[in-house]
Chain A
């Protein structure tokens, strides 16, 4: 047998990056069989079936490729504000390129994520959101990353909140994948409000193909414990977020999000992270006759076991 380079049919790869999703190798789209109304058609796009474990694999690749194409990466290291998933993907890709990453993360990011970034060789700078006590938008991690990049010329900040390559990642990959996987039948797309990259990129692509597609944004409540999502009542609106593609915003509380997450484990055997619970909770409030609904499952639950332990309490433990 002749060994050929990367052969996706045999799932044999010459480079871990060949496993990253794109229209030729989409992440899976899986129907929820038990939670929704039997007449409803709700699918989840499992973004955690990607080598670095989340939807941010796409973003990180586009951010770095974009910097490189613009000649901004030559000899530079990276600093980026992240709630963890972008940091993990950037740390992995930076490790492969032999460059250094400082990830500034808001307090409350699960230890699992911080440890994984450090395992990949990144430096993790944790900061409270109100780091600047006087001038206090609730984005301390963003302010800190900006200050590092502005103070030290060795660093460049991709800035997923303002970089159009974040949108392009989803316009060129996630959106076309969903369109192809649903044979153009997608009627509603539901995703979390974070950087705005997924909603804007996928929303733009799907609406260009079919202006009738509805785009639903899921927003957490202020003071939430749903990493990756942002409440725009307490954080600045990301620069790349294009409100014109969003038809509806659904606010979901932590209790509902975690209850749905638990249901997804126990009734659908889907081992997802808590933001997926929030997205599914919003999707289940849609009219069952809405047509084919696609929700994003940004990451799996493996990085949130400490959070889950909190919500479980003694549940699942033997009693004397």
Chain B
């Protein structure tokens, strides 16, 4: 018996880039994603305001998927899904 389609939402890895200036969060996220498998989730925490523009652009460029961004104060939490193998 199969249940309803389940969409994984627990990140495989959390990358804490608080205090790091751009482009370090983007660089570290790209490095982590390149070592993950398609469908894996990466949570990226950044305090650099530049990452609000750079992370979505990086995800598009790499073919990964930005699932959500939550901003609390100066903390931005991105949930990224590794795209299909290229």
Interface residues of B in 7-65 (CB under 8 A from A): 19-24, 26-27, 50, 53-54, 57-58, 60-61
Q: Does A133 contact B (CB under 8 A)?
A: yes
Q: Does A319 contact B (CB under 8 A)?
A: no
Which A residues are closer than 8 A to B by beta carbons?
125, 127, 131-135, 140, 143-144, 146-148, 150-151
Q: Which of B19, B20, B54 contacts A133 (CB 8 A)?
A: B54
Distance in Å: Cβ of A247 to nearest Cβ of chain B: 37
The B interface is mostly helix, strand or loop, or mixed, namely helix
A92 vs B72: C-alpha distance when bound (angstroms): 45
Number of A-B residue pairs, CB cutoff 8 Å, is 41
A156 vs B51: C-alpha distance when bound (angstroms): 24
Would you call A151 and B54 a contact (CB within 8 A)? no
A144 vs B60: C-alpha distance when bound (angstroms): 20
Which one of B24, B53, B54, B57 has the highest number of Cβ atoms from chain A below 10 Å of its Cβ? B24
A148 vs B22: C-alpha distance when bound (angstroms): 9
Would you call A147 and B23 a contact (CB within 8 A)? yes
A125 vs B61: C-alpha distance when bound (angstroms): 19
Would you call A131 and B26 a contact (CB within 8 A)? yes
A135-B50, A147-B20, A147-B22 known; A125 and B58 CB under 8 Å?
no
Q: Point out the residues of chain B lying under 8 angstroms from A134, CB to CB.
A: 50, 53-54, 57
Would you call A151 and B19 a contact (CB within 8 A)? yes
Q: Which of B24, B57, B60, B61 contacts A147 (CB 8 A)?
A: B24
Q: Point out the residues of chain A lying under 8 angstroms from B53, CB to CB.
A: 134
